[in-house]
A and B are shown apart, each in its own frame.
Chain A
Amino acid sequence: MPSIISVKNLRKTYGKTVAVDDISFEVTKGEIFGLLGPNGAGKTTTVECLQSLRNYDSGDIRVLGLNPCHEAQSLRRRIGSQLQESALPDRIKVWEALDIFASVAPKALDWRVLLEQWGLADKRKASFASLSGGQKQRLFIALSLVNNPEVVFLDEMTTGLDPAARRVAWDLIRSVRDTGTTVVLVTHFMDEAENLCDRVAIVDKGKIIVSDTPLGLIAKHTSAVRVIFSTDKTDLAWLKKVPGVKKVSSRGTRYEVEGSGPLLALVAAALVEHGIVPPDLCSEQPTLEDVFLKVTGHSVTE
């Protein structure tokens, strides 16, 4: 697959603050590529440079073979942008906004279809100011897609969306990908990156720490499976002798067993053998969150 975005040694500073230290990555056509990291990690600055909304100090960027510094207008015409900070005039109506943004592109999509898809059909004549946060967000996503872009940049697209609307948004973005559009997603939500992205780069302090498929990252950077249950019994030292168990910890009546291999089955068998049948026995698979903690040394909210 040809690479549609290529970033080499990107660096951007604001005075003495280093926003992007040294970032390199490639995005191939038709994938959902995620930049995952805490606020201030440099994700937004990076995608703003890619969209020619910001100048950078050094490095080399190609998007659709174009240089964002020198071919800004031809690039902007072929990409879609959902920006973290932007607005529309308060009194513009939803359909008017979609109509003028569609007029910029020769091969624009039918904005009426987008209104339906993004659940804004009944808000067609509502003014921008009267929309809720989630509705504004969905309108901005629709605006980023209305010019039928080859690459779409979505910066914290599910901010302000309720859980049900997030699921719908993920499905819609997957279908956008399936029509051949490449998606670059900026997010600080672990579940979003894990569910939606074909590949994820974990960004921290202006650098990409690791990048791979979500499953690849989990397999490579985590080993521990956790088994969790509750019991009134206190002397559970024998648990440590169960094969694969590495660590047993407890908080009150709640126990957490960490280890590897088929941990759940072995722990369950040992518990039954000792006459303990906890009703809440379950196992937790490691997630991207564990990967993030492991590779950056802190959680995403820190």
Chain B
Amino acid sequence: MMHNIRTLFKLTWVEIKLFTREPITVIFTLALPIIFLFVMGGVFGNTPNPDVYRGVGAMNYYMPSYFGLIMMAIGTVALPVHLAGYRERGVLRRLRASSFSVWTVLGSQMLVSFVIAIVGCILVTILGFVVYHPDVPVYIGQLLAAFILGGVCFTSFGFFLGAVLPSTRSAQGMGMLLFFVMMILGGAGPPPEVMSRVMQVIGEITPLHWVIYMLQNPWLGFEWHTNASLITAGITVVSAGLAARFFRWE
């Protein structure tokens, strides 16, 4: 048991280093949200307008949205491409032959995902507060809970995609598609209020939409979004179930 934990931490540490050596994933998970932060902040500032952004300032709206965006980038691009690539190239096979358990392999991926998400959110928070002075989160505890549930949700979602997508190429294609659809329509792009009804409906069926609501409410001082948290939990359970059902070592 003890050396299982040691293996888990060693593998996690190596995976964190591998992440930092992979420019594409670093760009998608850490750099893009920061670029969006400056583009949106530069265009909309933080003056509230009752017609858009749920009636709050744009930056108050976007700060928690970008937390969701970072987790979503991990779940759609970083994790699936990584896992599908590992399987395609025989890395999973190599690990399995040396008695690495599925819990060690996926557990390390989950830990890495959280470390990256935390680093990304800290970066966005620091830069956002320094440049745009948004309001500080109202319910920190609830925000933390939403962060953990959102992180677990997108990690499961990433495991699911990584389990069913057969190759690096298909994972990249599907990952990019989901990333851009969710980013634009799921609540991290233009204000939902200005989108057409069809765009809103598509936005509402993306996991990101609900994760963002769940994160925004405690930040903005709104009531905990029970529906959003239940839907997020549901997506987590279904994704994890499908991932377990379809996971293959080779």
Contacts and interface: CB of A to CB of B under 8 A. Distances in A.
Interface of A: 51, 53, 73, 76-77, 81, 83, 85-89, 91-92, 96, 99-101, 103-106, 143, 147
Interface of B: 3, 6-7, 10-11, 14, 17-18, 21-22, 86, 89-91, 93-94, 96-101
A89 B19 CA distance: 11
18 contacts: A53-B93, A76-B97, A76-B98, A76-B99, A83-B97, A85-B90, A87-B89, A88-B94, A91-B21, A92-B14, A92-B18, A96-B17, A99-B14, A101-B98, A103-B3, A104-B7, A143-B98, A147-B99
Judged by DSSP, the binding face of B is helix
B21 A104 contact: no
A87 B85 CA distance: 11
Nearest to A80: B98
A51 B97 CA distance: 7
A89 B95 CA distance: 11
Contacts of A73: 99, 101
Given A77-B99, A96-B17, A104 B94 contact: no
Nearest to A54: B250
A contact patch SS: loop
Nearest to A48: B97
Given A100-B14, A104-B99, A87 B94 contact: yes
Contacts of B100: 104
A87 B10 CA distance: 19
Contact of B7 (A51, A81, A103, A143): A103
Contacts of A103: 3, 6-7, 10-11
Interface centre among B21, B22, B86 (most CB of A within 10 A): B21
A86 B94 contact: yes
B25 to A, nearest CB: 11
A73 B93 CA distance: 14
A151 to B, nearest CB: 13
Given A73-B101, A77-B99, 18 more contacts: A53-B93, A73-B99, A76-B96, A81-B97, A86-B97, A87-B90, A89-B18, A89-B91, A91-B18, A91-B21, A92-B14, A96-B14, A96-B17, A100-B14, A104-B3, A105-B3, A143-B94, A143-B98
Contacts of B97: 51, 53, 76, 81, 83, 86
Contacts of A85: 90, 93
A73 B91 CA distance: 18
B96 A100 contact: no
A86 B7 contact: no
A91 B22 contact: yes
A96 B21 CA distance: 14
